[in-house]
Amino acid sequence: MEQLAFPCASRAYAGAMAEAKPKEQDLYAPIKSLLEAQGYEVKGEVGAADVVACRAGDEPVVVELKLAFSLALIHQGIARQALTDAVYLAVPRGSGRRWMAAMKQHRTLCRRLGLGLIYVRLADGHSQIVLDPAPYQPRKSAPRKSRLLREFARREGDPNMGGAARTGTLVTAYRQDCLRLAAHLAAHGPSKGAQVARATGVEKATRMMADDHYGWFERVETGIYALTPNGRKAAAMGADG
């Protein structure tokens, strides 16, 4: 359908909405007006669908109505995709930053699921199609994929339990390299960065010790690094540090 806004023509609608607690049925008149303006014949509660609209030569349009965006509404929309590709979810339009942030996420979800989205302003029946249903093809990120595979290849063993990201310190390939540097300094004392790099096979040893991401290293002379107390603890704990 065309992406447009369409006000419900009836002034009585706005007056009734001001007096009554909103119901799902209150979305029907604005949606019906919107679709009829585009040449559809519209009927409510046809089979399991809240709204069905037909126009010669086009796929039937199904609209599911809810007073709030919810998982139940998503489930209904997905179920209606067995009937037609033109499935829309309709919810009241809210206001404020929190609502705008939430609806941005909802639009993303609808786009991924191939569902359309319609907002209805209950105060006056103004309705707007903000998203038409269409097949979703996620855009791949070559740099992010490369970083993922590089981290996978560099990491030794499988030191982390899947799903444990929020419960403890993750062992990354970078952390494993830092542990190698710490182990070398623990065994040989303060050393030149180039020497540590050759001995451990960590090419960026000097830069990593200078950056000191974990607070394990300190520069004692130009180009020479030693362990801090925390570094000595990490070296003693080994791969679990």
Specify the pLDDT at position 76: 93
- Are residues 22 and 92 in contact, defined by beta-carbon separation less than 8 angstroms? yes
Q: How far apart are CA 66 and CA 77, in angstroms?
A: 11
Helix, strand, or coil (residue 196): helix
Specify the pLDDT at position 164: 65
Mean pLDDT of 132-139: 80
Specify the pLDDT at position 90: 93
Domain with CATH 1.10.10.10 in the chain: 168-240
Domain with CATH 3.40.1350 in the chain: 5-131
Specify the pLDDT at position 7: 46
CATH fold of 5-131: Trna Endonuclease; Chain: A, domain 1 (3.40.1350)
Mean pLDDT of the chain: 85
- Phi, psi angle pair for 90, to nearest 5°: -120, 130
pTM over 0.75: no
CATH number attached to the domain at 168-240: 1.10.10.10
Of all residues in the chain, what percent carry a pLDDT higher than 70? 88
Structure confidence by residue, pLDDT tens digits, 195-231: 999 999 999 999 999 999 999 999 999 999 999 999 9
Specify the pLDDT at position 134: 87
